[in-house]
Amino acid sequence: MKGKYASRIPYLLVLFLLGGILETRAQSGWEPMFDGKSLAGWKKTSFGGGEGSVEARDGQLLLGLGSYMTGVTWTRDFPKGNFEVQLEAMRVEGSDFFCGLTFPVKDSYCSLIVGGWGGTIVGLSSINGMDASENETTRTMLFKDKTWYRIRVQVTAESVKAWIDDQNVVEVETGDRRFSTRLEVDNCQPFGLATWRTGAAIRRILLRRLPQ
């Protein structure tokens, strides 16, 4: 009997820890957007040809290397403002952006580009018609292949902010600025993820709705 009960301890411990994680997420208001095993709630984005493969496997959303863009678009309800999105992204192969995160801002949309223009540019596309390589949010960062980066975006009526790991990389007031997406990623609206000639893995996609 002692051996029988002892064999159940690791299983019960896993259930206890998992329950604690889920409870903490619920208390903090984070909602999972990806179940880790299917594309439920998502569709493969059409960019007019040249897309790589898209699949869910082993807790990861895998965007294959294509000759053009590869991505997914959220098919369910998504807030138009006052929200945070958090995810982890990794460049698997290729040399350009491995996370193009498109989201609503004010009465339009915008994209956070991570690793664009040859692999190092971070910024918002677009502000007042200028993309991530040429506006006030433009910055250069080095990214390692096959390394997970935690990315978080916060959108309120007053501002758009973004972090990579614990570094604040974007902080811009919405004010009278005009936000838009580049034509290439319009099909990712209202919320989506895309890469440019790059294979990527995405996991732990979470949404938190903020008070109005």
Q: How many CB atoms lie within 10 A of CB 106?
A: 16
| β-strand partners of 164 | 151, 167
pLDDT score at 13: 42
pLDDT score at 8: 52
Residues 198, 94 share a domain: yes
Residues 105, 190 share a domain: yes
Residues 3, 40 share a domain: no
Report the CATH number at residue 150: 2.60.120.560
Q: Judge contact between 210 and 83, C-beta under 8 A.
A: yes
Residues 37, 18 share a domain: no
Task: Give me the residue label for tokens 């570094």.
Answer: 167
pLDDT score at 212: 82
Pair of tokens at residue 99: 């996370």
What is the distance between the alpha carbons of residues 194 and 184, in angstroms, rounded to a whole number?
10
- Confidence tier at 71 by pLDDT (50, 70, 90): very high
pLDDT score at 10: 47
DSSP letter, residue 185: G
Number of domains in the chain: 2
Percentage above 70 pLDDT, the chain: 87
pLDDT score at 62: 98
Residues 125, 20 share a domain: no
Residues 61, 10 share a domain: no
- Is the pLDDT at 22 greater than 60? The verdict is no
Query: How large is the average pLDDT for residues 200-210?
Result: 98
Residues 133, 100 share a domain: yes
pLDDT score at 103: 98
What is the distance between the alpha carbons of residues 201 and 59, in angstroms, rounded to a whole number?
10
Contacts with 154 (C-beta within 8 Å, 6 or more apart), sequence order = 83, 84, 160, 161, 162, 210
Least confident of 3-17, 28-42, 157-171, 182-196: 3-17
Residue 166: Cβ-neighbour burial (10 angstroms; 0-12, 13-18, 19+): exposed
Residues 148, 194 share a domain: yes
Residues 12, 96 share a domain: no
Query: How large is the average pLDDT for residues 36-48?
Result: 97
Residues 21, 114 share a domain: no
What is the distance between the alpha carbons of residues 47 and 31, in angstroms, rounded to a whole number?
28
Residues 182, 125 share a domain: yes
- Model pTM score: 0.87
Contacts with 130 (C-beta within 8 Å, 6 or more apart), sequence order = none
Chain-wide mean pLDDT for the chain? 91
The Cα angle at residue 147 between residues 162 and 154, in degrees rounded to 5: 15
Its domain, for residue 9, covers 1-30
Q: Judge contact between 90 and 210, C-beta under 8 A.
A: no
Residues 20, 83 share a domain: no
Give the total residue count for the chain: 212
What is the per-residue pLDDT across 86-102, written as a single tens digit (0 to 9) for each? 999 999 999 999 999 99
What is the per-residue pLDDT across 135-160, written as a single tens digit (0 to 9) for each? 999 999 999 999 999 999 999 999 99
pLDDT score at 54: 98
- Confidence tier at 14 by pLDDT (50, 70, 90): very low
Q: Say if residue 126 is preceded by a cis peptide, omega within 30 of 0.
A: yes
For residue 142, the Cα-to-chain-centroid distance in whole angstroms is: 18
- Is the pLDDT at 9 greater than 50? The verdict is no
- Confidence tier at 46 by pLDDT (50, 70, 90): very high
- Is the pLDDT at 17 greater than 70? The verdict is no
